[in-house]
Structure 1
Amino acid sequence: MNIEQARFNMIEQQIRPWDVLDPAVLSLLAIVKREDFVPAACRALAFVDTEVPLADGQVMLAPRVEARMVQELKVQRHETVLHIGTGSGFVAALLGHRAQRVITLEKRPALVKQAADNLRRAGLANVSVREADGSQGLAAEGPFDAILLSGSVAAVPQVLLDQLKVGGRLVAIEGHEPTMCAVLYTRQSSSAVSKEILFDTVAARLEGFPEPSAFRF
């Protein structure tokens, strides 16, 4: 496989057509080596438009979904980002190139180690991997300029919205199969948060987040 040609095709044929047009994000996708964050057994899937299996039944989101979510978060160089659902560390690496500091939370010990190793090899010293339940965020180190959830939830918990600074943004995928959508929350003031629907997609659930009780007759 011609790695660079495959990377170019991923960007031009999958990601750009999905309205990922920010030159800074497209440049990052050309620089950050996705193949280094994919398990060796799945290396052939690094640039394919699909979710990639990880340890313990987890997955990497499809490249176009990762890229679009990072674009919509609009991270700036001076900002601190909380990332929930580390996986292999690829999205955290993208965020690390854009932010001053990234804290990424992952529940699964095997993935914590894998992601930490991947990020260290990639030279991302400003990204810290923590083994933690992301559903509660990390209030002790907030508030944050931006929060990104790499996976779906039934609804974003208020406890995460409360950890946004005024002007802070949160991007997540909400809903239930087969109807989910990516959403952008923005804290407008100490008491007001706006919500914008970004695009339709479907993604695997993040662990530990509450599900609504099933309605019973």
Structure 2
Amino acid sequence: MTVPLDTVNDIRSMDAAGRSRSEIARMPHVSRNTRAKYADMWIGNWIGYTGVDSSGRGARDGRAVMGEKGERPERVFPGRTDPWFIAAMVIVAGGLSAACIACFLSSSPALLWGWLALLPIPALVALAALPVRSNRLELYGDRLVVVYAGTRSVIPYAHVRGVRRTRTLWAGTANSLDRVYIEAPYDGDAIVSVTDNDALVAELGRRCGLGPDA
């Protein structure tokens, strides 16, 4: 029997929220085996139990498995970077690098601290380039992963409550003002920008079981 995606998401959300098996088992219209199957599948996608709750199950610490080593995402959306963002990074990194060079020139070449002033320059250049080079969104079978500036944020599809276009100025992992807002209260909302935002909204809507107005 095919189980509706909304029902699967409800089972997984209740399990992720720490609801007891007996409470999940009282869900109507679905057999006990189906409830246990999808709850067990959900547990298998998580690691890091930090204790035992009143139902005897481990309490999750919120860290999601990135997948087995070598697991490939089903789809990757490259991040979008607008010219203004690149200009801002160049100005910041260039200004700080210029200050380091000025410190070096104002000191005697015989002084060690003068040469030390040049050491931060490569790091500043690398940090300025990191948000541009490490910027994408990966889609797996049961979760999305936001990769930005060397960090990875995991959001299971079952936790997504809405996906919509936005031009908010609120800080996010987006190098463009043409953005996508991913509402996921359990894991933390995400603001991203990819090269094809319309395709991302449609794909997440399908994978997360959201309606057209989500």
- TM-score w.r.t. length of structure 2: 0.25
Give the TM-score normalised by the residue count of structure 1. Answer: 0.25
Instruction: Identify which of structures 1 and 2 has the higher relative contact order when contacts are C-alpha pairs closer than 8 Å and 6+ apart.
Output: 2
Q: Tell me which structure has the larger Cα radius of gyration.
A: 2
Higher relative strand content = 1
